Amino acid sequence: MKLSQINKDWTLFLDRDGVINVKKENDYVKNWKEFVFHDKSISAIAKLTKIFGRIIIVTNQKGIGKGLMTEMDLNTIHKKMIKIIELNFGKIDKIYFCPDINDSFIDRKPNIGMALKAKNEFPLIDFKKSVMIGDSSSDILFGHRLGMQTVFINALKRQNNNFQFEFKSLIDFTNFLIESLNKN
C-alpha cells in the first residue's frame, strides 16, 4: 500500500481494546472505571478524522456473552468514549460489536459480519480502500479476508508477519501516515 494514496475515500476500521484503550489481560473492560485510553490515542483519532472519510470500530465483546457485563454497560462505555473523542475533535462514525462467545458466529472477528453490516450502513465503503488496525491475529485476519490493508499495533513488538505494517501504538501509525501524506 502506498500510504500517500489514502484520502477521504478511505475507511479506517479500528479494534478497540489494545488499540484505543488499554486491554485488560485475561479480563474485560466491564465498566467506565476500567476504561483507560492509550496514551495519545484520542489525539491520534482526531488526526485520523481529518484523513479518512469514515472511522468504524469493530470489537469483539465476549464479556457480555459470558455474563460479566451487560450490553447497557458496553453502551455506557462507548457513549463516554465517543464524547471524549468528539470533545477532542475526533469522530467515530459507528461502533459494531459482537457479544457472542461462539468463534464461528458471523459477527465475531476474524469473521467478517461486522464489516458487512458497516458496508450495508455506509455503502461508500470500499474494502480495497480500507485499513484495519488491530492488536490481535483475529483483527489482522478480519482485514485480510476483506482485502484491507492491515496494521498491527503491539506495544511489546511481538513479531507476526501477516500484516503490512507494525507500530507500537495508534499515534505512532498516525504520525507515520501524516509524514507519508506530507511527502506528496
- Nine cell digits for residue 108: 465475531
Active site residue 126: no
**Catalytic status, residue 93:** no
92, 55 contact by CB (below 8 A) = yes
CA of residue 54 relative to chain centroid, distance = 12
Q: Which of 9, 17, 100, 103 is catalytic?
A: 17
Give the full edge-to-edge strand order of the sheet including 130-134: 94-98, 54-60, 11-14, 130-134, 149-153, 165-167
Which 3 state secondary structure label does DSSP give 54? strand
How many other C-beta atoms are found inside a 10 Å radius of the C-beta of residue 103? 12
- Which of the residues 15, 73, 135, 139 is marked catalytic? 15
Active site amino acids: 15, 17
